[in-house]
Chains A and B, each alone.
Chain A
């Protein structure tokens, strides 16, 4: 049934349905926090706190710092992930060489890397970028690798018949065929980068200068509205990042009816 509805455009006012659940949540929050101010505080307090840090520019400054780290880390991690993924997927030697270490290291939880990275790369700034690169690396590498391994042999044979060089095959067959998987990988990576940024920022003992400070400072000073305003910013910005990534991919794939047909993630 969902498929049937998808093809029909819904009336405009249906768009408003998306606001129903948050509104219910907000009302519930207000209701339950009425008598227990110390535990959560009414939503008004948090929204006011959010408004205050937006107005005085703190929010933007923190966001800019965090965003820079996420974007840097994401780009570095994705670039390396893509290269390793292509290498492992398209070369038997590459696969043999990398596979064991790749899958072995993957089993170490991401957060377990934090202390080591903190020790190596200092406490604020560089360490977060390295950590985010590392966490963005795996989804892209893994999905690229899987995507390439899943390319039907019949397409690769066409390349062989026309005497494509290895590089031509990668450029004209392997990458285009793996693009849907690469898309999935980058979107997961971005998600991962944004999510783990906070982990990286609250683990430093001194203020990191990013959004994570709202959380660590909020916790230390029992300033719950500050803590929650930080969470609200993270949620909203994360959502927008995801939408932006989808939009970029939509643009990149505008000439790929074969992918659009499968439906986006």
Chain B
């Protein structure tokens, strides 16, 4: 097993479109350490979400393999927590019931209640137990979704653009919260995002993907101490490097001439 939690080797995935095979992911090799926060960044259509869905076990029919803690991934598992871009809370359940959604097979009611309370508190939703998702703000709904993903004590947390639908201010606040939760739970986390600043702010490593077919273009380490300062020179430099990879070079900052 070693220190690697997740190992993906020689992964190829094709979608069949109108009878023709369309390569989506090509030759993906990836090792992720236990407790690491890794972001997958790429323009839309680069297969980053497909890669996440493969790890989640929702996508099958590919070459190569994905191994999590020594076990080959063949289908979904409650031990892999996921937060989707839309919160996907069930509208007919209260927040509390939604958070406890993954505990369906837990017979002990007290234990269930205790766990639910613990995670409601962790994401700062104490007092909103009996509220329905439609009554929550976008940020709060996403917190509930995070609590739901964490309650089964997963081996890995998979985030599919979890903050993508939030407004800029809420997003920055939630990034902080996410970091806080990650540090507390010491969880191996993979986040798909197209927000480069978000990736630099949260990740230990950033995987840059190129499009059609999706390939790993570059892996970038972010050796900055936490919590990170978005205005700090090294933060901005990493961000700029990433942006330039997208041919979207931002305005050059003065430090390039230092």
Residue positions of A touching B, CB distance < 8 A: 154-155, 157-158, 160-164, 168, 172-173, 176-177, 179, 255-259, 261
Contacts of A177 in B (CB 8 A): 90, 92
Contacts of B78 in A (CB 8 A): 161-163
Looking at A154, A162, A163, A168, the one whose CB has the most chain B CB atoms below 10 A away is: A162
Contacts of B213 in A (CB 8 A): none
Known: A177-B92, A257-B134. A161 touches B56 (CB 8 A): yes
Looking at A157, A161, A176, the one whose CB has the most chain B CB atoms below 10 A away is: A161
Decide: B132 and A257 in contact? CB cutoff 8 A: yes
B103 nearest CB across to chain A (Å): 9
Complex Cα distance, B92 from A256, in Å, reads 6
Which residue on chain A has the smallest CB distance to residue B53?
A157
Contacts of B132 in A (CB 8 A): 257-258
Given contacts A158-B90, A161-B78, 5 further A-B contacts (CB under 8 A): A154-B88, A160-B76, A172-B104, A179-B92, A257-B135
Decide: A176 and B82 in contact? CB cutoff 8 A: no
Decide: A155 and B134 in contact? CB cutoff 8 A: no
Known: A163-B78, A257-B134, A258-B91. A157 touches B101 (CB 8 A): no
Which residue on chain A has the smallest CB distance to residue B149?
A161
Decide: B58 and A163 in contact? CB cutoff 8 A: no
A3 nearest CB across to chain B (Å): 18
Partner of B92, one of A157, A163, A168, A176: A176
Decide: B80 and A161 in contact? CB cutoff 8 A: yes
Contacts of A259 in B (CB 8 A): 92
Does B102 interact with chain A (Cβ within 8 Å)? Answer: yes
In this complex, the interface size class of chain B, counting residues with CB under 8 Å from chain A, is 20 to 34
Decide: A160 and B104 in contact? CB cutoff 8 A: no
Total A-B pairs, Cβ < 8 A: 47
Partner of B104, one of A164, A255, A261: A164
Which residue on chain A has the smallest CB distance to residue B131?
A257
Partner of A158, one of B92, B101, B134, B152: B101
Contacts of B82 in A (CB 8 A): 161
Question: Which residues of chain B from 167 to 199 have any CB-CB distance to chain A below 8 Å in the complex?
Answer: none
Would you give 5 A-B contacts (Cβ < 8 Å), ordered by A? Answer: A160-B76, A172-B104, A179-B92, A257-B132, A259-B92
Nearest 6 CB-CB pairs, A to B? A258-B91, A162-B102, A176-B92, A160-B76, A163-B78, A161-B76
Contacts of B56 in A (CB 8 A): 161
Decide: A173 and B90 in contact? CB cutoff 8 A: yes
Complex Cα distance, B82 from A161, in Å, reads 8
Question: Which residues of chain B from 91 to 138 have any CB-CB distance to chain A below 8 Å in the complex?
Answer: 91-92, 101-102, 104, 132, 134-135
A158 nearest CB across to chain B (Å): 5
Which residue on chain B has the smallest CB distance to residue A173?
B90
Complex Cα distance, B90 from A173, in Å, reads 8
Which residue on chain B has the smallest CB distance to residue A160?
B76
Contacts of A172 in B (CB 8 A): 104
Complex Cα distance, B88 from A160, in Å, reads 13
Question: Which residues of chain B from 35 to 60 have any CB-CB distance to chain A below 8 Å in the complex?
Answer: 56, 58
Contacts of B90 in A (CB 8 A): 155, 158, 173, 176-177
B144 nearest CB across to chain A (Å): 12
Contacts of A154 in B (CB 8 A): 84, 86, 88
Which residue on chain B has the smallest CB distance to residue A163?
B78
B58 nearest CB across to chain A (Å): 6
Looking at A160, A163, A258, A259, the one whose CB has the most chain B CB atoms below 10 A away is: A163
Partner of A258, one of B58, B76, B92, B104: B92
Decide: A155 and B88 in contact? CB cutoff 8 A: yes
Does B10 interact with chain A (Cβ within 8 Å)? Answer: no
A145 nearest CB across to chain B (Å): 20
Which residue on chain B has the smallest CB distance to residue A253?
B92
Contacts of A164 in B (CB 8 A): 104
A148 nearest CB across to chain B (Å): 15
Contacts of B152 in A (CB 8 A): 162
B225 nearest CB across to chain A (Å): 34
Complex Cα distance, B82 from A261, in Å, reads 29
Decide: B58 and A261 in contact? CB cutoff 8 A: no
B143 nearest CB across to chain A (Å): 16
Looking at B56, B91, B92, B102, the one whose CB has the most chain A CB atoms below 10 A away is: B92
Which residue on chain B has the smallest CB distance to residue A175?
B92
Which residue on chain B has the smallest CB distance to residue A171?
B104
Does B244 interact with chain A (Cβ within 8 Å)? Answer: no
A5 nearest CB across to chain B (Å): 24
B30 nearest CB across to chain A (Å): 21
B247 nearest CB across to chain A (Å): 33
Complex Cα distance, B57 from A157, in Å, reads 11
Complex Cα distance, B85 from A59, in Å, reads 61
B136 nearest CB across to chain A (Å): 12
